[in-house]
Amino acid sequence: MRLPSKLRFPVLVGLYLVVDTGTQIAFEATSRAIGDLPLGPQFLLAVATTPASWVAALLYFATYATWILILKFSSLGKAFPLTTLSYVTVPLASWLIFNEGVGLIPAIGIGLILAGVWLIGPEAEEREAAAREADRPGVRAGKVAKPAAGA
């Protein structure tokens, strides 16, 4: 199934945020399952045998694969700022799943991150549109090349 090109980028970014957030939640679940084991063979065995650890590894790979797909269809400059939205989704998920609180200062930080993504977005869109225009055949230095005489 192919997504319409206008939907591809937002759907992939949404998928990235889901799997990236899931990865962090699985890491936390692994940490809670292991408890206070000191670093050593028992710790490593616990990590290797905890189901949440395997979920985290699979989701980490899914995050990687999704990121590669995003970069296949978008520029790094446009896509990268959106990854910071995980600074919103992870605290929200940890609050919902683990009942972890978010204080005033972190909430302000999350708001600033959202503002930064909002401010960066239009500039990245403009750069990407200009790059696409420059890559079109016959376009050089912002001018459309005229066919040669007799062509």
The CB-side HSE value for 33 (13 A sphere, CA atoms) comes to 18
Q: pLDDT category, 109, cuts 50, 70, 90? A: confident
Q: What is the pTM of this model?
A: 0.72
- Domain ranges for the chain, please list them: 5-139
Q: What is the pLDDT of residues 25-74, one digit of tens each?
A: 999 999 999 999 999 999 999 999 999 999 999 999 999 999 999 999 88
What pLDDT does 69 receive?
A: 92
Quick one: CA dihedral 71, 75, 80, 81, positive or negative?
Answer: negative
What pLDDT does 22 receive?
A: 97
Q: Which residue reads 């079109």 in tokens? A: 136
